[in-house]
């Protein structure tokens, strides 16, 4: 009993530290959303150019580095790998504050993506070794809540910092001179992540299941590709369905503050505080609820529980998101963002746990990295830019940003519903096969 208690305590301590790291990753990733106006003004950028900083710059190496980094996670110390990644992205975020041009800021954002690629594949793999299958959904749900707590804090901190620094005319820093409001904000939010990197080093590596495998790059790649070829329907449906949800998620979250500023005339600091609180509370609760609901379905014998939980949320999300984006009343729009953020977060705990349940232990981190590659290249890389392209070249009016967001949301949610529905049977069959092995 004593050993079990110690093991359980260590497992949840690991979850808490990893959640903190994930929270900081989303602060550093999302802080850009509160600085659209100041950055566009100082660097003379269009919506499309700004969206490339928010999406493509971050996503390009975040996605492509994920798979080789995951191979390291499957064979080497996950703790050291994650700590190194946190340190890299924190320093890169601070470097964003020293950028003086679009190209410099783009390159610094690329470096942020490189660092963040090291976290989640290793974290998912580590949690799968710490928790039994019936409790994995809630553990990954808690970890994944860092997404929305981080985004919420980025809205709050970003709104307050940018507004305050704008009013003060920037910030003078020794050796660096006077920084613009957005430059100083990057420097301030990036620095604390170095302490988080040290906290990750306090974690202990759980023992991995004893499996026969070739630890070479060639052997790992062959094992990964062989498994994907053997079960294409399960993984293609999973990746495509959640890619559509990630597309609409990023289109909404990247432009949400600017939507309220442009369309409803709310001040930057005010909407940062309001959206930050809504996102942290409702998004955090939603992603935990998604994990709990998936676990509940699993206890009732549903072998497709994670996929069914995601489908449930996608169906409810469609009308709620369109109403929140297209309603004329600013107060009602803010209230509708609460259920919107709850529902848009709900599928992502089940998305991660779904992969762990149908994937052999020795390729879990790599499968997670492939998943993150697909959904982040689609969602982060194209979600913000898709909305910006519609605003700049289809609707041709910055004040119609909400119509661009609504268009992406409608297409993404309908496609996600169709794909996730088709995934239920093959997923359940593979889960049954592995459970019986």
Domain range summary for the chain, segments of one domain joined by +: 2-201+216-436
- How far is it, in rounded angstroms, from Cα 189 to Cα 94? 7
To which CATH superfamily is domain 2-201+216-436 assigned?
MFS general substrate transporter like domains (1.20.1250.20)
What is the full per-residue pLDDT of the chain (437 aa) written as tens digits? 334 444 788 889 999 999 999 999 989 888 888 888 889 888 988 888 888 888 888 877 777 777 787 778 777 788 999 999 999 999 999 999 888 899 999 999 999 988 888 898 888 888 888 888 777 778 887 887 788 888 888 888 888 888 888 888 878 888 788 888 889 999 999 999 999 999 999 998 877 665 444 455 566 678 788 888 888 889 999 999 999 999 999 899 889 999 999 999 998 888 888 998 998 899 888 988 998 899 899 999 999 999 999 999 999 999 999 999 999 999 999 999 999 999 999 998 899 889 988 988 778 777 877 887 888 888 878 888 999 999 999 999 999 999 999 999 999 999 999 999 999 999 999 999 888 76
In a 3-state reduction of DSSP, which class is residue 293? helix
Q: Say which DSSP state 267 is in.
A: -
pTM of the model: 0.75
What per-residue confidence (pLDDT) applies to 218?
63
Three-point CA angle 319, 404, 145, nearest 5°:
60
Instruction: Kindly list the distances between the CA atom of residue 371 and the CA atoms of 180, 238, 242, 258, 261, in Å, as whole numbers in the listed order.
Output: 37, 8, 9, 29, 34
For 1, the token pair is 């009993």
Three-point CA angle 248, 253, 256, nearest 5°:
115
Three-point CA angle 25, 26, 31, nearest 5°:
115
What per-residue confidence (pLDDT) applies to 4?
47
């Amino acid at each position: 009993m004593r050993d079990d208690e110690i093991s359980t305590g260590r497992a949840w301590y690991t979850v808490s530290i990893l959640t903190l790291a994930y929270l900081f990753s989303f602060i550093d990733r999302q802080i850009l959303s509160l600085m659209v106006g100041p950055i566009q003004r100082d660097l003379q950028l269009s919506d499309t150019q700004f969206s490339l900083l928010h999406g493509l710059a971050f996503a390009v190496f975040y996605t492509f580095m994920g798979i080789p980094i995951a191979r390291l996670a499957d064979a080497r110390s996950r703790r050291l790998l994650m700590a190194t990644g946190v340190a890299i992205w924190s320093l890169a975020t601070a470097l964003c504050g020293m950028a003086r041009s679009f190209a410099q800021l783009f390159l610094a954002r690329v470096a942020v993506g490189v660092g963040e690629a090291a976290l989640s594949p290793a974290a998912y793999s580590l949690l799968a070794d710490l928790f039994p299958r019936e409790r994995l959904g809630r553990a990954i749900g808690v970890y994944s809540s860092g997404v929305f707590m981080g985004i919420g804090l980025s809205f709050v901190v970003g709104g307050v910092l940018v507004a305050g620094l704008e009013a003060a005319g920037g910030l003078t820093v020794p050796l660096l001179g006077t920084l613009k409001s957005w430059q100083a904000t990057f420097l301030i939010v990036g620095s604390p992540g170095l302490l988080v990197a040290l906290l990750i080093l306090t974690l202990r590596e759980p023992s991995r299941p004893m499996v026969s495998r070739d630890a070479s790059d060639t052997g790992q790649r062959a094992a990964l590709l062989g498994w994907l070829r053997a079960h294409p329907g399960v993984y293609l449906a999973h990746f495509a369905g959640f890619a559509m949800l990630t597309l609409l998620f990023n289109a909404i979250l990247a432009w949400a503050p600017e939507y309220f500023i442009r369309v409803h005339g709310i001040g930057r600091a005010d909407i940062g505080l309001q959206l930050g609180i809504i996102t942290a509370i409702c998004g955090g609760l939603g992603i935990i609820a998604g994990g709990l609901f998936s676990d509940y379905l699993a206890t009732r014998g549903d072998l497709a529980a994670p996929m069914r939980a995601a489908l449930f949320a996608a169906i409810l999300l469609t009308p709620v998101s369109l109403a929140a984006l297209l309603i004329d009343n600013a107060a009602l729009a803010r209230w509708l963002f609460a259920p919107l953020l709850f529902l848009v977060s709900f599928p992502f705990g089940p998305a991660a746990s779904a992969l762990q349940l149908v994937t052999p232990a020795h390729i879990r981190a790599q499968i997670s990295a492939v998943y993150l590659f697909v959904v982040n290249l689609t969602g982060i890389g194209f979600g913000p830019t898709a909305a910006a392209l519609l605003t700049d070249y289809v609707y041709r009016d910055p004040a119609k940003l909400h119509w661009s967001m609504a268009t992406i949301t409608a297409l993404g949610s309908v496609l996600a519903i169709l794909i996730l529905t088709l995934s239920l049977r093959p997923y359940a069959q593979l889960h049954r096969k592995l459970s019986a092995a």
